[in-house]
Amino acid sequence: MSELIEALALKVDAALAGSVARRAPLAHELGYETEAATLLTVCRTLRDAPELKFEMLMDVAGVDYLHYGRDEWQTQSATHSGFSRGRVARLDVPDPLAAGRFAVVYQLLSISHNQRLRLVVKCPDSAEPVIDSVVDIWASANWFEREAFDLFGILFRGHPDLRRILTDYGFIGHPFRKDFPLSGNVEVQYDPDKQRVVYQPVSIVPRVLVPKVIRHDHRYEPALKDPQADR
């Protein structure tokens, strides 16, 4: 499997030298990262170059990297305060405008060569994430990009019909951003006086049931690997 991946990687490097950088995912998958400025040319080459021929776009996913790698767990305070949840609300709020917060991930599939490739593009501006639309290259991008716009607020330049798709008519905010609360901001209720459904601020108190914990496991991190263990 990995020989096939390396063979494909050579072809991609030959066709797109300089405009893509290889990501380091798993052994049986291939991922590349490119700049927003070169996205359209890279995508065209990936679709049209005879040795690549990625004629299908299977998925477009928006990603918000705001809380990446931040846990909310402190072991010491948990033992001090008895049976607390051991969860610490971190005071250092990450900067929502830090560069590289939003990314768009494209999953490509080549039917003719039976291979897959993942393309990642980071949005250059986090305040107003804008990226070129690939609808003209793959028609299936239409709804996928609408979804990424709806849920993450990523704008796609050149999209023919960039409307909200999954959220309610007149919804405010982009719910899959990490700084959007899980319980939302508004709830609806039937008002018997007005005889219609009304919006009001949400009454649920947000609560974390299981804190996010990051542990460094010696089995997965080479630096922590016990040299004796493999014998």
Partner 1 sequence: MSAPPVSEIRNYTMNFGPQHPAAHGVLRLVLEMDGEVIRKADPHIGLLHRGTEKLAESKPFNQSIGYMDRLDYVSMMCNEHAYVLAIERLLGIEPPLRAQYIRVMFDEITRLLNHLMWLGAHGLDIGAMTVFLLCFKEREELMDVYEAVSGTRMHATYYRPGGVYRDLPDTMPKYQASRWRSPKQAARLNEVRSGSMLDFLAAFTAAFPARVDDYETLLTDNRIWKQRTVNIGVVSPERALQLGFSGPMLRGSGIAWDLRKKQPYEVYEHMDFDIPVGVNGDCYDRYLVRVAEMRQANRIVRQCVDWLRAHPGPVMVDDRKVRPPRRERMKDDMEALIHHFKFFTEGYEVPEGETYAAVEAPKGEFGIYLISDGANKPYRLKCRAPSFPHLAALEEMCRGHMLADVVAMIGTQDIVFGEIDR
Other beta carbons within 10 angstroms of residue 176's beta carbon come to 17
From the list 153, 147, 168, 97, the residue with the least C-alpha distance to 126 is 97
Residue in 214, 218, 224, 225 binding partner 1, rule: CB under 8 A: 214
37 vs 111, which CB is nearer to partner 1? 111
Query: Encoding tokens for residue 173?
Result: 């905010």
Residue in 21, 130, 204, 208 binding partner 1, rule: CB under 8 A: 208
Q: According to the binding rule CB under 8 A, does residue 144 interact with partner 1? A: yes
Residue in 25, 96, 158, 173 binding partner 1, rule: CB under 8 A: 25
Torsion of CA 22, 25, 26, 27, to 10 degrees: 10
Q: How many residues of this chain interact with partner 1, rule: CB under 8 A? A: 49
Instruction: Say how far residue 23 (Cα) sits from the centre of its chain.
Output: 15
SS3 state at 132:
strand
Q: How far is the CB of 193 from partner 1 (least distance, A)?
A: 26
- Restricted to residues 100-119, the positions that interact with partner 1 (CB under 8 A) are 105, 107, 111, 114, 116, 118
> Which residues sit opposite 86 in a β-bridge?
none
Tell me the residue ranges of DSSP E strands in 35-111.
56-64, 102-110
Query: Encoding tokens for residue 131?
Result: 């990226």
Task: Give the span between the Cα atoms of 40 and 45, in whole angstroms.
Answer: 9
Residue in 139, 198, 204, 224 binding partner 1, rule: CB under 8 A: 139
Torsion of CA 21, 25, 27, 33, to 10 degrees: -20
Q: How far is the CB of 228 from partner 1 (least distance, A)?
A: 19
The answer to whether 57 touches 42, Cβ cutoff 8 Å, is no
Q: According to the binding rule CB under 8 A, does residue 90 interact with partner 1? A: no
Binding mask 159-178 for partner 1 (x = CB under 8 A): -----xxxxx------xx--
* 43 contacts: CB under 8 Å, gap ≥ 6: 106, 119, 134, 137, 138
Q: According to the binding rule CB under 8 A, does residue 33 interact with partner 1? A: no
Residues comprising the chain, all counted:
231
39 vs 106, which CB is nearer to partner 1? 106
The count of C-alpha atoms lying within 13 angstroms of the C-alpha of 224, restricted to the half-sphere facing its C-beta, is 7
The residue range among 20-28, 38-46, 121-129, 196-204 that interacts with partner 1, by the rule CB under 8 A, is: 20-28
Q: How far is the CB of 135 from partner 1 (least distance, A)?
A: 10
14 vs 79, which CB is nearer to partner 1? 79
Q: Which residues bind partner 1 (CB under 8 A)?
A: 25-26, 28-29, 31, 55-59, 61, 63-64, 67-69, 71, 105, 107, 111, 114, 116, 118, 138-140, 142-144, 147, 164-168, 175-176, 182, 208-210, 212-217, 220-221
